[in-house]
Structures are given as C-alpha cells and as structure tokens.
Structure 1
C-alpha cells in the first residue's frame, strides 16, 4: 500500500515538474517608466494571455526605447518594447547580436518639433535663425540634419542647445528656447503635467509629415530566443496582439491593468497617453490596410535609408534583418478597431 502511495506521489511530482518545465520565462523590458501606452503588456499578463501560451513574462520598467535594444543585446532581457530605429543602428555593425522586431505597434513616428504658438514659428522655414532645445543622442535631435536636408532648410542657421530631456519643456515654457526636439507622446504629457494646454497653445511639426516617414516602437525579441524557442516567440506575439485589440476597444480595462502593475501612476493622465498612442501613433491608413503588427517592406527599406543617412552608418541592413512577420497571427486576427472611451 505504502509503495503504491509513494509511486502515486512520485507520479504527481513528475507531472508537476513537467508542467513547470513547459512554462517558459521571458524577461521583458518596457521602453520607459510605467505609462498608459504600455497597457497591452499588463493586460496580457492580468488576463492570462501569456499563461495560455505557456509563458511566464516578467515585466520590468525601461530606461529609454533605444536602451531596450542594448538591454536585449546584453543578454539581460529576452524581449521588450522599443524603437526599431535603434535596431537598425545596431544591426548595421552587429547583425548577429541585434534583436528583431516581431510586432510593430507604433506605425507612425513620434519624432516632432514643438513650439509655442506665440513664437512666430509658423512653417518649418521659420526654424532658421532660431534656437532648438535637443537632448543629445535622441533620434529627433540626431535626425535634424536629415530633416533640414530633405526640406531644403539651411541647417547651419538652426542653433541646437543641448540639454537633458527633462529640461526641454520647462525651458520652452520659460522662453529660453524657441522650440524643442521631442517625442510627441512624451512631450505632450510633460506639458500637461506642467499645467500647459499642448493643443491650444503649442504647434507641433511631426517629422513624419516632412519626409521622414519612419516606423517607431514595437515588440522585439533577442536572436537567441528566436533561434532557441520560436514557439515562445509566436505565443508572445499572439498574446500581445490579443491585448492590443482588446484595449483599442476598452481603454479603461487597459488602465486597470496598468494601475495593477504600478499604482503610483497618474491614471487620468496615463489614460490620455494611452488614447494618444492610438490616435497619433498606431491608427493610420497603412495599419488599416495591413493590420496591426505588420509593416510594408518598401517603406521599411526607405526608413532604413533615412536612418543610415542620419546616423552615417557604414552598412544598410536589409528589412528582413530588422523585422520578421513570421510570428504574426493571420490578418483577420489583427483587425484593430479603436474606439475612444
């Protein structure tokens, strides 16, 4: 009798061990501190989407959307939310180490120049002879020469004042600079938090409207994970896709998950940020045509060319080195309908 009980217990233990072994842990880094625009990742976790795919996804805050790439390349993280343009930069010199984007989320670029409506800057030509505040190393600042060249501006007449990112809006508000080189989804809400009205009192010039038709942030994975566990990558993409589709219809549910992850966030502001991400960065004619998560190869090739020029890269990576649609769910499952609520 004792032998049969022992055997049964051993069987249960072996089964439990097998079940645990089947669950894959993925270390995932966000692009920055907790924000409403990250809600899909929290929603997927809270609603068991990752667990359904046999995944234990551990989500950590980030240090910048470019830093997502270096965090993954270091081996500290398996996947994350970050800037595809940082992948392009690294893939140019370290193609074997750079991560691969597997689910494009921000179909439109957030790179923009913001100025007060009272500044007298009404067209991009008016940037000549003005001082723009830029954070050194950020894509918006680095790509300004390309922006100027493509729009036939006299770049030498545009002065750049280098500053920390957190000083850009305060100095713009005070009038110490004429305009700031920013990420719109960050700067817009920095202005809100500084009791400004970014729609009524500020003018925005998006790089995407002036010849720099770039892709931006999405979900990327390490080459190691791609090679060792493609099943986990496919599951990760399916889970996040389901979450993105869900919160497009119900932002309150997305924000509930975000607050569950970090109850110190300003839920009212972050809900607006989540909706801003859909309005300005996710929903576009291209996204409606090809579905959320995918890209157009010809546009990606042009975007790579812009980054190669702007960063003076020695080699232009092929689009297939930067983005893989191998793990995307069928087009019908990536039909995103956004309703602000």
Structure 2
C-alpha cells in the first residue's frame, strides 16, 4: 500500500477547502441614520442588530441617532448615510427641490401618521376648530408644522385666528406643560410622552391626530437615494427584511426591545418608552389595515390622494404619482407582524 506523505494530505485538504473560503464574503456595510434621538420605535433596529437579523442577511449595519427628518434626508442625499428613517411626507418637496439627488421610500413603518395637535385636556380643546383663538407652540421647518395647512383646510380652521409661537424643539412641548401655550404641533408619540416625562399623566393629555380628521397621511419609513437603490438592490432588500424581523421582535417583547434601546442610550426611561411603544402601536403602527395585510401595505389611491394634499400644502405645482417617492419592489411577500 502506498503511503501518502502528511504534507501532501494537508496540501490536498487546503485545496479542497479553498473554494469554500473564497465563497465567503465580508458583510456589506450599511450606514443607517434615524430621524431623531433614541426612542422606542428605534428598538426595531437595535433588536435587529442585537439578535443578528442584519448579520444573517449579510449586512454590517451602523446606526446613528438623527436630528430631524429634514436633516436625515439631506445627509442621505449627500451620501453621508446609505439609508435613513424619516417622515416620507417630506420626500415630495425634497425630490421636487433636488431633482439630481432624489430619494425614494422603500418601506413605510407607520400606516397612520402621528402628526397631531397636542394639548392638555384642561385647555378645553376637543375639536379642530377649538384651535382658533389659541396660542400654539411650533418649531419652524418641522414636518407637522409644515403639514398643518392641510389639516386646517380639511377642518375649516381659520389659521389667521391662531397665534403661532415659534420656539426650538426643546422648548416646544414644555410651553404647553407650563401653560404658556394652549397646544403644540408634533408627532403625538413624541410630544405626549415628553409631557409624561415632565410629570403629566397620559390621561390628562389630548390630541387631534391629522389622520382622524380628514388627512390620511402615511408616515415615517426607510429612505435612500434612488441611484443607491438601483445599484444595491440586494442590500436594500436585506435591510428591509431585517427591519421587519426587528419590528416583529419589538412588538412581541417590548421590554426586551427597550432594554436593547437602553444599551445605546443609558439615559432613557424604560417605563416611559414602553408607554410610548404602546401608544405608537395604538395610533400609528398596528392599524386594522396593517393587522390584516402586513406592514408597508401601501394603497396607491390613498397614497396619491394624500400626496396631492402635501403638494398643495407645499405649493408644489404637480400631482405626483406614487412612484415619485415610493416603491414596493424591495418588500418581502410576508409582511405580517402580528
């Protein structure tokens, strides 16, 4: 019997293993930026990272906090980040103003926009017309403020009868708590829980959500440059799928989700963020439509109807089709989250 030298055996084994080694590829790096400082909904992505949902799909994802949807869009358009989380209603104006750096929404998280007028119930405000004759704190350039004319028009509010108090975002909600303003405009899931964090019981806070008063807006989702999506369809598809896995995990185990969030931002109050998560589920995420059809199940007629309202609010002289700002081509077939 011929004896094969040990060195030859090792060499042969190395040759056999070489194709497998060559087949392995490094994870694809994706730079991701949020819309604001760390809050409960962002745990969908922190959980996706902690539980290996990105890694399983060949992605290495870095997540940074944001400084507002407008800032997020600007940074994604500039190439500082690959994908961002932002209010997709603002894409219409962005794309109109930046024809050479257009963005596209590839996933919509909130089926119902949390844009709202928020107030203390003791103010006596119960309907949109009650905002007339009131002081309303706003942050100029913020999405809810920019979209307010749609809400006002749909509810026959005389805007000239409202005194708008322009302040920075840090003061806006506090103005209501301190009774220096009767109401404020913002994402109710952010503002209401900011008020809770200041010691106001949630049951003492009221809101007029745009979506329940004639303005059926979709809301925040994942955005990227149109040319990035065309060049990197596998990365975008993988990121969306991992996001949906993260949402399922967040909904199923909110305490684990907030613990994941706290590892990124130790200063968050987990109890407040769990309350915020419950409110988001109630008013924006787990709508009857989403429960029946899955997340990001966008209806074209509704999307284009609300896009026309946004175009009117921003004085944009076009009636946009859905594909001007949104595509469903990167979505998986199964999008059920509950």
TM norm. shorter chain > 0.5 = yes
Aligned residue for 1:258?
A: 261
Question: Match of 1:334, SS?
Answer: coil
Instruction: Determine which of 14, 39, 43 is the counterpart of 1:39.
Output: 43
CA change 1:16–1:316 in 2 (3 A) is: farther
User: What is the alpha-carbon root mean square deviation over aligned residues?
Assistant: 2.3
CA change 1:7–1:72 in 2 (3 A) is: farther
Question: Match of 1:34, SS?
Answer: coil
Instruction: Determine which of 15, 24, 30 is the counterpart of 1:19.
Output: 24
The number of aligned residues is: 333
Question: Match of 1:143, SS?
Answer: helix
Aligned residues of 1:103 and 1:294 also touching (Cα < 8 A): no
Deviations along 1:9-28, one digit per CA (max 9) or x if unpaired, are 8998996576344x211000
Instruction: Determine which of 302, 305, 317 is the counterpart of 2:320.
Output: 317
Measure the CA separation in 2 of the matches of 1:77 and 1:11: 40
Please report how far the alpha carbon of residue 286 of structure 1 lies from its aligned counterpart in structure 2 after TM superposition: 2.0
Aligned residues of 2:137 and 2:173 also touching (Cα < 8 A): no
Deviations along 1:53-107, one digit per CA (max 9) or x if unpaired, are 1111111111112322111101001112111012111122334522211111111
Map 1:168-183 → 2, pairs under 5 A: 168-183=172-187
Question: Match of 1:254, SS?
Answer: helix
Whether 1:138 and 2:142 are equivalent positions in the alignment is yes
Please report how far the alpha carbon of residue 32 of structure 1 lies from its aligned counterpart in structure 2 after TM superposition: 1.1
Aligned residues of 1:245 and 1:334 also touching (Cα < 8 A): no
Please report how far the alpha carbon of residue 2 of structure 1 lies from its aligned counterpart in structure 2 after TM superposition: 8.1
Question: Match of 1:188, SS?
Answer: helix
Instruction: Determine which of 127, 130, 133 is the counterpart of 1:129.
Output: 133
CA change 1:294–1:66 in 2 (3 A) is: farther
Q: Which has the larger radius of gyration?
A: 2
Aligned residues of 2:38 and 2:265 also touching (Cα < 8 A): yes
Deviations along 1:113-135, one digit per CA (max 9) or x if unpaired, are 12222223232222212111111
Aligned residue for 1:92?
A: 96
Map 1:110-129 → 2, pairs under 5 A: 110-129=114-133
Measure the CA separation in 2 of the matches of 1:238 and 1:316: 31
Whether 1:80 and 2:81 are equivalent positions in the alignment is no
Whether 1:67 and 2:68 are equivalent positions in the alignment is no
Deviations along 1:308-334, one digit per CA (max 9) or x if unpaired, are 11111233432012111111111xx22
Question: Match of 2:298, SS?
Answer: coil
Please report how far the alpha carbon of residue 7 of structure 1 lies from its aligned counterpart in structure 2 after TM superposition: 9.8
Q: Which runs of 5+ in 1 are unaligned?
A: none
